Amino acid sequence: MKTFIDDNFLLHTPFAQELYTNYAKDLPIIDYHNHLRPEQIANDIQFENITQVWLEGDHYKWRVMRANGVDEKYITGDASDKEKFMKWAETVPYMMRNPLYHWTHLELKRYFGIDERLNRDTADRIFEITTDMLVTSEYSARNLLKMMNVEVICTTDDPLDSLTYHQQFVKEKESFKMVPTYRPDKAINTDDIDALNAYIDQLSAVVGLAIATADDYLYALKLRHNYFAANGCSVADHALEYMCAVDYTDAEIERIFTKIRANSTLSAIESIQFKSAMLFNFAIWNHERGWVQQYHLGALRNNNTRMLRDIGANMGYDSVGDFSQAKALSRFLNRLDSSGQLTKTIVYNLNPADNEVIATMLGNFNDGITAGKMQYGAAWWFSDQKEGMTKQINTLSNMGVLSRTIGMLTDSRSILSFPRHEYYRRIMCDIFGKDVDNKELPNDIEWIGKIVQDISYNNAKAYFKFYLANT
């Protein structure tokens, strides 16, 4: 039984269809934020079957499998790869109206040419067909990326990372770039003092210096920032519940750091002061280097403490948070802007209730020099579905300049997730097409086509430093 994914999928007007087909479809992909494993790409690994490339690490799928009554054995447990795939296949028919239903069939079609619905009856055949393909060299990790015309991928890397796989990869002069991202979340995790102290000890060993003071700590992290820059990094990233931007003095930060090293519990204000100081210093370094900085705001993580204890973090037990965002973000950006040290910045919000809050806040700090300097980031995580993408596009259209957005990213742990760029492009083209059909925009295919090309590819290419020498 064939799927519903045809050439005009999500495209409801002739204008939208022409826009996507002639202007967006064949553009390369710049994926400036994802969670792919660098070693898999550097070593150009072969996946043994579709479960390994599709289900491992994909907490999107894990959440809905649990909701469908699938035992954890078949999700993160010790069931065989085929058993896990069969349970996913049994879940898919119940996924109608969830974006995973679209993505599942889009990915099967784009990578494997499979144009039938995944369910209990087709699962065994699809597992065998995809396995036969994946064990061939044409379906190696790198070739899977090339199938989607990927030009750049930015992995997400801790400052302690040796970047060995990035160094290995860059020597091979591949047709696409893989560059690291500096993500120091663990370096400011005052919610777990034991883990933070272990991190500081590890950092000390990596840089070969004793870390006795807050200044020592910042110096060591700056050395890693420099190291990342020397290895082609030009992007930083931070995942936060909300921006931390309270007042502090250097003396207070030194006292707080002493308490951390003594394994003492911090007060709530001390924790926020420490994070505020670290984030501000990171932003200064990003400006010095001309890096782009990204902030992912609004996730409430590890809600299920029983499952956190049993199977660990990042296993599908996070959700949308309802944090206050505006004032702290304003203070943070304003402090940097006032001293002329605000670099290009992307802010993603997880709670759609904050769409207008974030979009309008970022508009306060464009400088009139760099087009699109302050970016209201694409719909993220729980919002990166058709309605969420549409809301984000409409919010940016109403509150800012959609034509200057840098478009979509995967934010995924799966190497098969790149059709999400196609999904976004189709939705965007359909929005423009409907506006033209409703006579709310001029029927100017060349100009709107240019805007679509800019959003899909050109803006990101101009925004980042991926194409400069040494990156």
**Nearest in space to 433 (alpha carbons), one of 77, 141, 109, 21:** 21
In angstroms, the CA 349 to CA 295 distance is: 8
pLDDT tens digit at each of 471 positions of the chain: 677 999 999 999 999 999 999 999 999 999 999 999 999 999 999 999 999 999 998 999 999 999 999 999 999 999 999 999 999 999 999 999 999 999 999 999 999 999 999 999 999 999 999 999 999 999 999 999 999 999 999 999 999 999 999 999 999 989 999 999 999 999 999 999 999 999 999 999 999 999 999 999 999 999 999 999 999 999 999 999 999 999 999 999 999 999 999 999 999 999 999 999 999 999 999 999 999 999 999 999 999 999 999 999 888 999 999 999 999 999 999 999 999 999 999 999 999 999 999 999 999 999 999 999 999 999 999 999 999 999 999 999 999 999 999 999 999 999 999 999 999 999 999 999 999 999 999 999 999 999 999 999 999 999 998 976 444
Contact 452, 428 (CB under 8 A): yes
Beta bridge partners of 30: 152
| Domain 148-463 sits in CATH 3.10.20.30 | no
CA dihedral 323, 328, 330, 333 (to 10 degrees): -120
As annotated, the residues of the chain forming the CATH 1.10.2020.10 domain(s) are: 46-139
Q: List CB contacts of 77: < 8 A, sequence separation 6 or more.
A: 71
Decide which of 1.10.2020.10, 2.40.160.20, 3.40.50.2300, 3.90.550.10 is the CATH code for 46-139. Answer: 1.10.2020.10
Three-state SS string over 331-391 comes to HHHHHHHHCCCCCCEEEEECCHHHHHHHHHHHHCCCCCCCCCCEEECCCCHHHCCHHHHHH
Task: Give the CA distances from residue 161 to residues 75, 176, 427, in Å, rounded to whole numbers and listed in that order.
Answer: 29, 22, 37
- Residue 470, pLDDT score: 42
- Sequence ranges of the chain with CATH classification 3.20.20.140: 148-463
Whole-prediction pTM value?
0.97
Output the six-digit token pair for 269. 């204000």
- Residue 409 is predicted with a pLDDT of 97
d(CA 140, CA 296): 31
- Sign of the dihedral through C-alpha 206, 210, 213, 219: negative
Task: Give CA–CA dist 318/328, Å, rounded.
Answer: 23
